[in-house]
Amino acid sequence: MSDLLELRGLTAHYGDFQALFGVDLTLARGETLAIIGANGAGKTTLMRAITGIARVTAGSVALDGRQIDRLAAPDILRAGIAMVPEGRRLFPSLTVEENLRIGAHARQGNGFWTLERIFDLFPILRERRSHPGTALSGGQQQMVAIGRALMSNPSVLLCDELSLGLAPVVIKEIYAAFPTIRESGASIVVVEQDIGQALKIADHVHCMMEGRITLSGRPQDLSREAIHDAYFGVSHA
Amino acid sequence: MSWADTLAQGLLLGGLYALFAAGLSLVFGIMRLVNLAHGDLIVLGAYLILGIGSALGISPFLAASIALPVMFALGWVLQMALLNRVLGEDILPPLLVTFGLSVVIQNGLLSAFTADSRKLPIGPVEAHSLPLGPVTVGVMPLITFGSAIAVILILNWLFYRTALGRAFRATSDDAVTAQLMGIRPKQIFGMATGIALVVATIAALYLGARANFDPSIGPARLLYAFEAVIIGGLGSLWGTLAGGLVIGVAQTFGAALNPEWQILAGHIAFVAVLLVRPRGLFPRAQD
């Protein structure tokens, strides 16, 4: 597997507050990567820095060998990175179908994902296509947000806190779509507080704390204790 | 003049006010920008039509069709070069900048065209009228009214049926998330102001055809337009049409009672509507 996305020494600030401290991370083609960590660990900032919403103050982001960290957010989307933002952020003035179609706003040419394929992935959205996006349940809104990101046919799909505020049965339903998304050719990064879910779907897990990656490895190689310690910042030293 | 006549005249005048207001409504709906130079841009459009018409020796209608793309380009450049720089959380900078722009346009027109009143020479159609049931209406006011309906229909189609309109609404909802869809908000705003000035140019044609204009009348047109937008409910295009009609009808009824009351009656109607419905007649749900 060759590296598709490569972060080197990524640093980001909110005003004077430094939120990321030299994060190194690679995502191989076809891989699913999970980033776990407590609130305020810098996971969302990391997603925002990759997509150009938060400004990168040092370090680099490369996609397929091309440096993209100086590009504006709309150009990073065009380069092939789409995001399902935290809190879903559907457009309230748009219907479900319009929310999905706007995901393809910048798309050129054909790709795997079409409106019909999104409806096949999440059949409930076909029935609700003319409802306002924000009139749906939380889980259905999350499906729209995922579909909307897929409509750009991204090579990298970033998912920020998919399970936040959703019932376990709904989370399971949403993650059931991931094998299909992987098969479509997208490499995936999920940010999760739900450690169990993250370990289940990921090839690699990184744990973040205070803007740094404190633990990395394959799920099967990481002990529960090591993850617990990295997550909560417990030191046995 | 019968009351039916007065009502008809009021509705037709309201069509003109709706045209003044539609561009303002569009820009406000998309970027929450109140363009205080909107009235002056309409007047600028009228002078542009006049200038093109007399330079090429063509009718104001033909001249307007040349002025439309020119004004679109002006709107786009204005937004990209100036207004995008001041849009943000704070609503004061864009207000100050458009207020300054209003002063600049007025003085620019004054030095270029003097303070003399002008009128667009539209020819014999000005005097034509049609019997319409119990009332008789002028052909030009009727064309103006029809244009207002057409403009609102087209803007609604654009807003709700096209990819550009989808991008307008998404950017208006949440400009940051819109960028994650590959939308460039600044360009979207440039398109919106360009379209607003196209509508302003249509308004300018009927303004100049109906009555005299001079460089100083912009702010009063802005006030009517602003009242129409507020009466209709911010961000609703059909509401803006309704708002224009309310002001037009109020003004003609005021004038029928006493000619001095015309302008005052429009403002009173504005206040009266706000007392009963503070968010306007057709407020958008999420505003």
What pLDDT is stored for residue A195 in this prediction?
Answer: 86
User: Which of B163, B170, B179 comes nearest A91 by C-beta?
Assistant: B170
Whether residue B180 and residue A93 make contact (CB cut-off 8 A), yes or no, is: no
Once rounded to an integer, what is the mean pLDDT over residues A116-123?
96
B181 → closest Cβ in A53, A93, A103: A103
Give me the amino acid identity at B195. Answer: I
Residue B283 structure tokens: 């407020």
Let me know: does B265 contact B253? Beta carbons within 8 Å: yes
Burial class (CB in 10 A: 0-12, 13-18, 19+), B230: buried
| Chain A residue closest in CA terms to B185 | A74
Predicted local distance difference test score (pLDDT) of residue B236: 87
Query: What are the pLDDT digits (tens) for A173-195?
Result: 999 999 999 999 999 999 998 88
- So where are chain A's domains? 3-232
pLDDT at A140 over 90: yes
What is the rounded CA–CA span in Å between residue B41 and residue B187?
A: 20
- β-strand partners of A12: A20, A56
Which structural domain, as residue segments, surrounds residue B20?
3-114+137-276
Is-contact B96 B36, C-beta < 8 A?
no
User: Under a CB-based contact definition with an 8 Å cutoff, are residues B261 and B241 in contact?
Assistant: no
Q: What is the pLDDT of residue B207?
A: 97
Closest to B166 (Cβ–Cβ): which among A51, A73, A94?
A: A94
Is the pLDDT at B286 greater than 50? The verdict is no
Length of chain A: 237
Sequence-separated (6 or more) residues with CB below 8 Å from residue A17: none
Mean pLDDT, residues B134-162 taken together: 95
User: In the prediction, which pLDDT does B26 show?
Assistant: 94
pLDDT at B120 over 70: yes
Cα distances (angstroms) measured from residue A185 to each of A33, A86, A111, A197: 14, 23, 10, 21
The residues, ordered by sequence, that sit 6+ positions from A98 with a Cβ below 8 Å of its Cβ are A91, A133, B166, B169
- Which two structure tokens, joined as six digits, stand for B123? 């020819």
**Confidence at B41, pLDDT banded by 50, 70, 90:** very high
Q: Return d(Cα A34, Cα A195) in angstroms, integer.
A: 9
Q: What is the pLDDT of residues B197-228, one digit of tens each?
A: 999 999 999 999 999 999 999 999 999 999 99
| Nearest residue on chain A to B164, alpha-carbon basis | A105
Question: Residue B51's beta-bridge partner residues?
Answer: none
Q: How far is A106 from chain B (nearest CA, A)?
A: 5
Please give the pLDDT value at position A226.
85
Confidence at residue A235, expressed as pLDDT on a 0 to 100 scale: 60
Residues on chain B touching A148 (C-beta within 8 angstroms):
181
For residues A219 and B14, the model is more confident at B14
Interface test with B, best of A102, A130, A150, A156 (most B CBs within 10 A): A102
User: Which residues from chain A sit within 8 angstroms of residue B174, using beta carbons?
Assistant: 89, 91
- Cβ pair B179:A105 closer than 8 A: no
User: Are B4 and B177 contacting, i.e. CB atoms less than 8 angstroms apart?
Assistant: no
Residues B163 and B245: their CA atoms lie apart, in Å, by 30
* Number of domains present in the structure of chain B: 1
Q: At what angle do helices B139-161 and B185-210 cross, to 10 degrees?
A: 170
CB spacing of B163 vs A101 below 8 angstroms:
yes
Q: What is the largest CA-CA distance in chain B?
A: 59
* Cβ–Cβ < 8 Å for A103, A110: no
ipTM over 0.90? The verdict is: yes
On chain B, the residues whose CB falls within 8 A of the CB of A103 are: 181
| Phi, psi values for residue A188, rounded to 5° | -125, 140
Residues of B in contact with A101 (CB under 8 A): 163, 166
DSSP H helices, chain B, are 3-31, 38-56, 60-78, 84-86, 92-113, 139-161, 163-173, 175-180, 185-210, 218-232, 237-257, 262-276
CA distance A83 to A131: 23
3-class secondary-structure state, position A121: helix
Give the CATH number of domain A3-232: 3.40.50.300
* CATH number for position B150: 1.10.3470
Does residue A158 register a pLDDT over 90? yes
Element (H, E) at A143: helix A138-150
- State whether the Cα torsion B233-B235-B236-B237 is positive or negative: positive
B169, B180, B181 ranked by CB distance to A93: nearest: B169
Sequence-distant (6+) residues with CB within 8 A of B123 are B59
Q: Say if residue B1's pLDDT is above 80.
A: no
Q: Is B282 part of a structural domain of the chain?
A: no
Whether chain A has a CB inside 8 Å of the CB on B32: the answer is no
pLDDT digits (tens, 9 = 90+) for B45-98: 999 999 999 999 999 999 999 999 999 999 999 999 999 999 988 989 999 999
- B287 has pLDDT over 50: no
Distance from CA of A85 to the nearest CA of B (A): 8
Tell me whether strands A17-28 and A3-14 are parallel, antiparallel or unpaired: antiparallel
Q: Which of A52, A53, A102 sits opposite B181 (nearest CB)?
A: A102
Interface test with B, best of A105, A115, A146, A156 (most B CBs within 10 A): A105
